Amino acid sequence: MCWCLARGATALCWGNWRSSAEQFASLSPTPFPTVANGLDTGIDYALDPQAGPLLEQIRAVNNGRMPDIVLVTPSKTSAMSQGLSLVGQGGTVLLFAPPPPDEVLPVLANQLFFQEITLRTSYSAGPYETRQALEMLQSGRIRSETLITHRFNLKDAAGAFRLVANPGDALKAVIMHSV
């Protein structure tokens, strides 16, 4: 989220199927400056996919426009398909987590060609992106402390892994040598 703002995004919408989205807002399409627990994430709108069609909610807060860039972080092909249905003409969909090897993502090739949609994948960061991220952290453009919701001692690593397996209110968990 911070990276998007640092790279020039003008509005960030967050849509989440899990109840952990409640930590960001009251789950209505209204602006909010900080998340409920006081962390400043830079998200402009929290959207609830269960409250109605997500595209309608996005258009309501984005001057009727569809997004230029859609980041899909779950590894579920249903989320990837939804990302493709939300992006506007000439937009980009970034798929960040790979699905299981036997899952197929149905894509309408016609949609990619005639709406000029770019489909990108990324599972990790290379040396260039790592250097960029480090520079943004060092300069203060990204404040990592706003994203870390849970810290664990190394001896409690098993608890950290249990948490991220079913995150609930966790946004980012960090395992440290000493807390």
Whole-angstrom Cα distance, residue 9 to residue 173? 25
Does the domain formed by 2-141 have CATH 3.40.50.300? no
Per-residue H/E/C for 112-123: HHHCCCEEEECC
What local confidence, expressed as pLDDT, does residue 38 receive? 30
The two tokens of residue 90 are: 């000439």
| Location of each CATH 3.40.50.720 domain in the chain | 2-141
Q: Are 35 and 23 in contact (CB under 8 A)?
A: yes
Per-residue pLDDT of the chain (179 residues; tens, 9 = 90+): 555 655 666 666 767 655 444 444 433 333 333 333 333 556 677 777 778 888 898 898 888 999 998 988 888 899 899 999 999 999 999 998 888 999 999 999 999 999 999 999 987 777 888 888 888 888 887 777 777 888 999 999 999 998 888 767 677 889 998 75
Whole-angstrom Cα distance, residue 155 to residue 176? 9
pTM higher than 0.85: no
Amino acid identity for residue 169 in this structure: D
Evaluated on CA atoms 36, 38, 39, 43, the torsion sign reads: positive
Tokens 């579920």 correspond to 76
What local confidence, expressed as pLDDT, does residue 172 receive? 81
